[in-house]
Chain A
Amino acid sequence: MHLPPFDTLIDAHAAELHRFLTGFVGPTEAEDCLQETFMSALRAYPRLRHGENLRAWLYTIAQRKATDAARRAARRPTRQLDGIEPAAPAPDDPPDAGLWMLVRRLPAKQRAAVTYRFVLDLAYAEIGARMSTSEEAARQNVSAALRRLRREVSGDR
Protein backbone atom coordinates (compact mmCIF):
# COMPACT_ATOMS: atom_id res chain seq x y z
CA MET A 1 0.00 0.00 0.00
CA HIS A 2 1.55 3.30 -1.04
CA LEU A 3 1.37 6.48 1.02
CA PRO A 4 -1.87 8.42 0.57
CA PRO A 5 -1.80 12.21 -0.03
CA PHE A 6 -0.82 13.82 3.25
CA ASP A 7 -3.92 15.92 3.54
CA THR A 8 -6.10 12.82 3.76
CA LEU A 9 -4.27 12.16 7.05
CA ILE A 10 -5.33 15.56 8.35
CA ASP A 11 -8.93 14.94 7.33
CA ALA A 12 -9.03 11.48 8.83
CA HIS A 13 -7.20 12.03 12.11
CA ALA A 14 -7.05 15.71 13.10
CA ALA A 15 -10.30 15.80 15.08
CA GLU A 16 -9.48 12.72 17.14
CA LEU A 17 -5.87 13.76 17.68
CA HIS A 18 -7.11 17.15 18.82
CA ARG A 19 -9.34 15.56 21.43
CA PHE A 20 -6.47 13.37 22.56
CA LEU A 21 -4.17 16.38 22.88
CA THR A 22 -6.84 18.45 24.62
CA GLY A 23 -7.02 15.76 27.25
CA PHE A 24 -3.27 15.46 27.44
CA VAL A 25 -2.12 19.10 27.52
CA GLY A 26 -5.28 21.17 27.81
CA PRO A 27 -7.20 23.25 25.29
CA THR A 28 -4.68 26.10 25.12
CA GLU A 29 -1.71 23.96 24.15
CA ALA A 30 -3.67 21.36 22.17
CA GLU A 31 -3.84 23.27 18.92
CA ASP A 32 -0.12 24.08 18.97
CA CYS A 33 0.72 20.46 19.67
CA LEU A 34 -1.57 19.37 16.87
CA GLN A 35 0.18 21.66 14.39
CA GLU A 36 3.59 20.48 15.56
CA THR A 37 2.46 16.87 15.26
CA PHE A 38 1.43 17.33 11.63
CA MET A 39 4.53 19.36 10.78
CA SER A 40 6.82 16.63 12.16
CA ALA A 41 4.78 14.00 10.39
CA LEU A 42 4.93 15.89 7.10
CA ARG A 43 8.69 16.22 7.39
CA ALA A 44 9.19 12.48 7.89
CA TYR A 45 6.32 11.27 5.70
CA PRO A 46 8.10 10.45 2.42
CA ARG A 47 10.60 8.30 4.31
CA LEU A 48 7.92 5.88 5.55
CA ARG A 49 8.14 2.62 3.70
CA HIS A 50 4.44 1.85 3.60
CA GLY A 51 1.07 3.35 4.40
CA GLU A 52 0.04 0.91 7.12
CA ASN A 53 -0.67 1.99 10.67
CA LEU A 54 -0.46 5.66 9.87
CA ARG A 55 -2.76 6.41 12.76
CA ALA A 56 -0.52 4.69 15.29
CA TRP A 57 2.44 6.53 13.79
CA LEU A 58 0.65 9.89 14.20
CA TYR A 59 -0.21 9.08 17.81
CA THR A 60 3.40 8.27 18.59
CA ILE A 61 4.36 11.72 17.30
CA ALA A 62 1.46 13.43 19.09
CA GLN A 63 2.34 11.75 22.37
CA ARG A 64 5.93 12.96 22.04
CA LYS A 65 4.80 16.52 21.27
CA ALA A 66 2.38 16.47 24.17
CA THR A 67 5.04 15.18 26.55
CA ASP A 68 7.42 17.92 25.40
CA ALA A 69 4.72 20.55 25.93
CA ALA A 70 3.91 19.21 29.38
CA ARG A 71 7.60 19.26 30.27
CA ARG A 72 7.91 22.88 29.09
CA ALA A 73 4.84 23.82 31.12
CA ALA A 74 6.30 22.17 34.22
CA ARG A 75 9.52 24.20 33.82
CA ARG A 76 7.63 27.47 33.64
CA PRO A 77 7.48 29.16 37.03
CA THR A 78 4.10 28.51 38.57
CA ARG A 79 2.06 31.57 39.22
CA GLN A 80 1.60 32.61 42.79
CA LEU A 81 -1.99 31.70 43.45
CA ASP A 82 -2.28 32.28 47.16
CA GLY A 83 -4.51 35.17 48.03
CA ILE A 84 -5.86 35.57 44.52
CA GLU A 85 -9.58 35.18 44.09
CA PRO A 86 -10.35 32.28 41.75
CA ALA A 87 -11.47 33.73 38.44
CA ALA A 88 -14.82 32.80 37.01
CA PRO A 89 -14.37 30.05 34.44
CA ALA A 90 -13.88 31.45 30.94
CA PRO A 91 -16.75 30.63 28.61
CA ASP A 92 -14.54 28.42 26.45
CA ASP A 93 -13.12 26.47 29.36
CA PRO A 94 -14.02 22.84 28.94
CA PRO A 95 -16.30 21.41 31.59
CA ASP A 96 -14.35 20.09 34.53
CA ALA A 97 -11.20 21.98 33.63
CA GLY A 98 -10.10 21.57 37.24
CA LEU A 99 -10.26 17.81 37.02
CA TRP A 100 -8.21 17.89 33.83
CA MET A 101 -5.62 20.03 35.56
CA LEU A 102 -5.20 17.08 37.91
CA VAL A 103 -4.98 14.68 34.98
CA ARG A 104 -2.17 16.77 33.54
CA ARG A 105 -0.19 16.28 36.72
CA LEU A 106 -0.31 12.50 36.42
CA PRO A 107 2.81 10.64 35.32
CA ALA A 108 3.03 10.57 31.51
CA LYS A 109 1.94 6.95 31.05
CA GLN A 110 -1.06 7.31 33.32
CA ARG A 111 -2.04 10.54 31.68
CA ALA A 112 -1.83 9.02 28.20
CA ALA A 113 -3.80 5.96 29.31
CA VAL A 114 -6.53 8.08 30.91
CA THR A 115 -6.76 10.25 27.80
CA TYR A 116 -7.08 7.26 25.49
CA ARG A 117 -9.61 5.63 27.76
CA PHE A 118 -11.92 8.56 28.51
CA VAL A 119 -11.37 11.05 25.73
CA LEU A 120 -11.10 8.61 22.84
CA ASP A 121 -13.15 5.90 24.52
CA LEU A 122 -10.76 3.14 23.48
CA ALA A 123 -10.78 -0.43 24.75
CA TYR A 124 -7.81 -1.51 26.86
CA ALA A 125 -6.39 -3.74 24.13
CA GLU A 126 -6.35 -0.78 21.76
CA ILE A 127 -4.80 1.50 24.38
CA GLY A 128 -2.10 -1.10 24.93
CA ALA A 129 -1.48 -1.25 21.19
CA ARG A 130 -1.16 2.51 20.90
CA MET A 131 1.15 2.79 23.88
CA SER A 132 3.21 -0.22 22.79
CA THR A 133 2.41 -2.03 25.98
CA SER A 134 0.12 -4.88 27.03
CA GLU A 135 -3.60 -4.70 27.57
CA GLU A 136 -3.00 -5.49 31.24
CA ALA A 137 -0.46 -2.68 31.63
CA ALA A 138 -2.91 -0.27 30.02
CA ARG A 139 -5.61 -1.35 32.47
CA GLN A 140 -3.22 -0.90 35.39
CA ASN A 141 -2.20 2.57 34.23
CA VAL A 142 -5.82 3.64 34.03
CA SER A 143 -6.76 2.24 37.45
CA ALA A 144 -3.66 3.71 39.10
CA ALA A 145 -4.58 7.06 37.57
CA LEU A 146 -8.18 6.79 38.77
CA ARG A 147 -7.07 5.89 42.29
CA ARG A 148 -4.82 8.90 42.40
CA LEU A 149 -7.44 11.22 40.93
CA ARG A 150 -10.06 10.07 43.44
CA ARG A 151 -7.65 10.71 46.25
CA GLU A 152 -6.89 14.21 44.98
CA VAL A 153 -10.49 15.08 44.19
CA SER A 154 -11.63 14.09 47.68
CA GLY A 155 -8.58 15.83 49.17
CA ASP A 156 -9.78 19.03 47.52
CA ARG A 157 -13.01 18.99 49.41
Chain B
Amino acid sequence: MTDDLEARLAGATRTQPLDLERLRSTIARRAADAGLLDVAYATHDSPLGPLTVIVTPRGLLRLSYPGEPVEAQLDDVAARISPRVLAAPERTDDVRRQLDEYFGGVRQAFDLPVDWRLVRGFAGGVLRATARIPFGAVTTYREIATRAGSPNAYRAAGNALGSNPVPIVVPCHRVLHAGGGLGGYTGGLDRKRYLLRLEGVLDP
Protein backbone atom coordinates (compact mmCIF):
# COMPACT_ATOMS: atom_id res chain seq x y z
CA MET B 1 0.00 0.00 0.00
CA THR B 2 2.59 2.44 1.20
CA ASP B 3 4.93 1.61 -1.62
CA ASP B 4 2.14 1.86 -4.13
CA LEU B 5 1.32 5.49 -3.33
CA GLU B 6 4.99 6.43 -3.21
CA ALA B 7 5.68 4.65 -6.49
CA ARG B 8 2.79 6.47 -8.14
CA LEU B 9 4.13 9.81 -6.91
CA ALA B 10 7.61 8.99 -8.12
CA GLY B 11 6.39 7.98 -11.57
CA ALA B 12 4.02 10.84 -12.09
CA THR B 13 6.16 13.54 -13.62
CA ARG B 14 8.60 11.54 -15.67
CA THR B 15 6.83 12.08 -18.95
CA GLN B 16 6.99 15.82 -19.48
CA PRO B 17 10.18 16.50 -21.41
CA LEU B 18 11.40 20.07 -21.42
CA ASP B 19 12.26 21.72 -24.72
CA LEU B 20 15.51 23.29 -23.54
CA GLU B 21 16.31 25.03 -26.82
CA ARG B 22 12.93 26.71 -26.88
CA LEU B 23 13.27 27.78 -23.26
CA ARG B 24 16.72 29.24 -23.94
CA SER B 25 15.50 31.26 -26.90
CA THR B 26 12.38 32.46 -25.06
CA ILE B 27 14.48 33.63 -22.12
CA ALA B 28 16.92 35.35 -24.49
CA ARG B 29 14.09 37.15 -26.28
CA ARG B 30 12.40 38.25 -23.08
CA ALA B 31 15.74 39.30 -21.61
CA ALA B 32 16.47 41.46 -24.65
CA ASP B 33 13.01 43.04 -24.47
CA ALA B 34 13.52 43.80 -20.77
CA GLY B 35 16.99 45.27 -21.29
CA LEU B 36 18.59 42.40 -19.34
CA LEU B 37 20.63 40.85 -22.12
CA ASP B 38 24.04 42.33 -21.33
CA VAL B 39 26.04 39.86 -23.41
CA ALA B 40 24.70 37.83 -26.37
CA TYR B 41 26.63 35.27 -28.34
CA ALA B 42 26.35 32.91 -31.27
CA THR B 43 28.53 30.70 -33.41
CA HIS B 44 28.80 31.49 -37.10
CA ASP B 45 30.19 29.32 -39.88
CA SER B 46 32.80 30.95 -42.10
CA PRO B 47 35.42 29.82 -44.63
CA LEU B 48 37.88 30.04 -41.73
CA GLY B 49 35.86 27.72 -39.51
CA PRO B 50 33.11 28.39 -36.96
CA LEU B 51 33.56 31.85 -35.44
CA THR B 52 32.25 32.85 -32.02
CA VAL B 53 30.51 36.23 -32.07
CA ILE B 54 29.94 38.01 -28.76
CA VAL B 55 28.03 41.31 -28.69
CA THR B 56 26.77 43.75 -26.08
CA PRO B 57 24.33 46.63 -26.50
CA ARG B 58 27.43 48.79 -27.18
CA GLY B 59 28.66 46.71 -30.07
CA LEU B 60 30.90 43.81 -31.04
CA LEU B 61 32.90 42.66 -28.03
CA ARG B 62 34.64 39.51 -29.26
CA LEU B 63 35.08 37.65 -32.50
CA SER B 64 37.11 34.50 -32.18
CA TYR B 65 38.45 31.63 -34.19
CA PRO B 66 37.88 27.99 -33.32
CA GLY B 67 40.59 26.82 -30.97
CA GLU B 68 39.74 29.33 -28.29
CA PRO B 69 37.27 27.41 -26.12
CA VAL B 70 33.94 29.22 -26.10
CA GLU B 71 33.28 28.41 -22.43
CA ALA B 72 36.52 30.06 -21.32
CA GLN B 73 35.74 33.19 -23.34
CA LEU B 74 32.22 33.43 -21.94
CA ASP B 75 33.56 32.91 -18.42
CA ASP B 76 36.01 35.73 -18.93
CA VAL B 77 33.30 38.00 -20.31
CA ALA B 78 30.98 37.10 -17.42
CA ALA B 79 33.67 38.18 -14.96
CA ARG B 80 34.77 41.33 -16.78
CA ILE B 81 31.58 42.70 -18.40
CA SER B 82 28.45 41.11 -16.93
CA PRO B 83 27.33 37.59 -15.94
CA ARG B 84 24.06 38.13 -17.83
CA VAL B 85 25.34 36.09 -20.77
CA LEU B 86 22.91 34.27 -23.06
CA ALA B 87 23.06 32.53 -26.41
CA ALA B 88 21.02 34.81 -28.67
CA PRO B 89 21.83 34.38 -32.36
CA GLU B 90 19.40 37.05 -33.55
CA ARG B 91 21.29 39.70 -31.55
CA THR B 92 24.37 38.93 -33.64
CA ASP B 93 22.58 38.94 -37.02
CA ASP B 94 24.11 42.21 -38.16
CA VAL B 95 27.66 41.05 -37.45
CA ARG B 96 27.08 37.68 -39.08
CA ARG B 97 25.51 39.19 -42.19
CA GLN B 98 28.44 41.57 -42.65
CA LEU B 99 30.92 38.73 -42.17
CA ASP B 100 29.12 36.72 -44.87
CA GLU B 101 29.28 39.71 -47.20
CA TYR B 102 32.98 40.22 -46.50
CA PHE B 103 33.84 36.57 -47.12
CA GLY B 104 31.59 36.60 -50.18
CA GLY B 105 33.62 39.44 -51.68
CA VAL B 106 30.81 42.02 -51.65
CA ARG B 107 31.86 44.02 -48.57
CA GLN B 108 35.16 45.82 -47.99
CA ALA B 109 34.47 47.80 -44.83
CA PHE B 110 32.59 46.75 -41.73
CA ASP B 111 29.96 49.09 -40.46
CA LEU B 112 29.80 47.82 -36.88
CA PRO B 113 30.22 49.53 -33.53
CA VAL B 114 32.95 47.87 -31.45
CA ASP B 115 32.67 47.52 -27.68
CA TRP B 116 36.27 48.25 -26.61
CA ARG B 117 35.88 47.38 -22.93
CA LEU B 118 38.13 44.32 -23.17
CA VAL B 119 41.02 46.46 -24.43
CA ARG B 120 43.23 48.51 -22.12
CA GLY B 121 45.81 51.26 -22.53
CA PHE B 122 48.26 51.28 -25.42
CA ALA B 123 46.56 48.31 -27.05
CA GLY B 124 43.48 50.48 -27.52
CA GLY B 125 45.44 53.03 -29.54
CA VAL B 126 47.06 50.28 -31.61
CA LEU B 127 43.77 48.60 -32.42
CA ARG B 128 41.98 51.85 -33.23
CA ALA B 129 44.80 52.76 -35.63
CA THR B 130 44.54 49.26 -37.12
CA ALA B 131 40.82 49.67 -37.62
CA ARG B 132 41.59 52.54 -40.05
CA ILE B 133 43.77 50.47 -42.42
CA PRO B 134 41.61 50.10 -45.52
CA PHE B 135 40.71 46.88 -47.32
CA GLY B 136 43.53 45.65 -49.51
CA ALA B 137 46.20 47.84 -47.85
CA VAL B 138 48.90 46.71 -45.44
CA THR B 139 51.23 48.39 -43.00
CA THR B 140 54.03 47.46 -40.61
CA TYR B 141 54.20 46.90 -36.86
CA ARG B 142 56.48 49.91 -36.52
CA GLU B 143 54.14 52.12 -38.51
CA ILE B 144 51.13 51.10 -36.46
CA ALA B 145 53.10 51.75 -33.23
CA THR B 146 53.91 55.20 -34.57
CA ARG B 147 50.28 55.89 -35.36
CA ALA B 148 49.40 54.80 -31.83
CA GLY B 149 51.89 57.38 -30.52
CA SER B 150 54.96 55.29 -29.62
CA PRO B 151 57.23 54.60 -32.61
CA ASN B 152 59.58 52.42 -30.57
CA ALA B 153 56.86 50.26 -29.05
CA TYR B 154 56.50 48.01 -32.08
CA ARG B 155 56.83 44.86 -29.95
CA ALA B 156 54.06 46.06 -27.68
CA ALA B 157 52.09 46.83 -30.84
CA GLY B 158 52.65 43.26 -31.96
CA ASN B 159 51.37 41.97 -28.62
CA ALA B 160 48.32 44.22 -28.81
CA LEU B 161 47.51 42.91 -32.28
CA GLY B 162 48.09 39.33 -31.12
CA SER B 163 45.43 39.78 -28.46
CA ASN B 164 42.99 41.65 -30.71
CA PRO B 165 39.54 40.67 -29.37
CA VAL B 166 37.85 41.38 -32.73
CA PRO B 167 40.05 40.06 -35.55
CA ILE B 168 38.79 40.43 -39.15
CA VAL B 169 36.61 43.40 -38.15
CA VAL B 170 39.64 45.20 -36.68
CA PRO B 171 41.93 44.02 -39.47
CA CYS B 172 45.13 43.06 -37.66
CA HIS B 173 45.86 40.75 -40.60
CA ARG B 174 46.82 43.90 -42.54
CA VAL B 175 49.87 44.47 -40.33
CA LEU B 176 53.08 42.79 -41.57
CA HIS B 177 56.81 42.79 -40.83
CA ALA B 178 58.82 45.61 -42.39
CA GLY B 179 61.01 43.08 -44.23
CA GLY B 180 57.99 41.60 -46.00
CA GLY B 181 57.44 38.67 -43.62
CA LEU B 182 53.88 37.96 -42.59
CA GLY B 183 54.51 38.30 -38.85
CA GLY B 184 52.07 36.50 -36.55
CA TYR B 185 48.33 36.08 -36.37
CA THR B 186 45.84 35.20 -33.65
CA GLY B 187 44.11 32.67 -35.86
CA GLY B 188 47.34 31.18 -37.27
CA LEU B 189 49.27 32.22 -40.39
CA ASP B 190 47.11 30.16 -42.77
CA ARG B 191 44.15 32.31 -41.88
CA LYS B 192 46.20 35.48 -42.27
CA ARG B 193 47.22 34.32 -45.75
CA TYR B 194 43.62 33.50 -46.62
CA LEU B 195 42.45 37.00 -45.65
CA LEU B 196 45.31 38.71 -47.52
CA ARG B 197 44.47 36.66 -50.63
CA LEU B 198 40.80 37.54 -50.27
CA GLU B 199 41.78 41.20 -50.23
CA GLY B 200 44.13 40.85 -53.22
CA VAL B 201 47.31 41.58 -51.24
CA LEU B 202 48.72 38.10 -51.84
CA ASP B 203 48.37 36.23 -55.11
CA PRO B 204 45.67 33.55 -55.06
Contact = CB atoms under 8 A, between A and B. Distances in A.
Interface of A: 2-8, 10-11, 14-15, 18-19, 22-23, 27, 30-31, 34-35, 38-39, 42-43, 45-46, 92, 94-97, 99-100, 103, 114, 117-119, 121, 146, 149-150, 153
A147 B86 CA distance: 44
B24 interface: yes
Given A15-B18, A35-B30, A94-B16, 18 more contacts: A2-B83, A3-B79, A5-B78, A14-B23, A19-B16, A22-B13, A35-B26, A35-B27, A43-B36, A94-B14, A95-B8, A95-B11, A96-B8, A96-B9, A96-B11, A100-B12, A118-B10, A150-B5
Interface of B: 1-2, 5-6, 8-16, 18, 20, 23-24, 26-27, 30-31, 34, 36, 38-39, 74-75, 77-79, 82-87
B23 A118 contact: no
Contact of B83 (A6, A30, A114): A6
Contacts of A46: 38, 82-84
Contact of A42 (B24, B77, B79, B84): B84
A5 B70 CA distance: 11
Given A39-B34, A146-B5, A100 B85 contact: no
A45 B10 contact: no
18 contacts: A2-B78, A2-B83, A7-B86, A8-B74, A10-B27, A18-B16, A18-B18, A23-B13, A31-B18, A38-B27, A39-B36, A42-B31, A46-B38, A94-B15, A95-B11, A96-B8, A119-B9, A119-B13
Contacts of B36: 39, 42-43
Contacts, number: 116
A117 B2 CA distance: 15
Contact of A34 (B6, B9, B23, B39): B23
Contacts of A34: 18, 23
B13 A45 contact: no
Contacts of A11: 20
B41 to A, nearest CB: 9
A112 to B, nearest CB: 14
Contacts of A103: 9
Contact of A27 (B16, B27, B85): B16
B92 to A, nearest CB: 14
B23 A10 contact: yes
Given A6-B83, A38-B27, A121 B10 contact: yes
Most buried by A among B18, B79, B87: B18
Contact of B13 (A2, A3, A31, A100): A100
Given A15-B20, A42-B36, A42-B84, A4 B11 contact: no
A142 B193 CA distance: 67
Contact of B84 (A27, A31, A45, A118): A45
A48 B39 CA distance: 17
Contacts of A18: 16, 18
A88 to B, nearest CB: 17
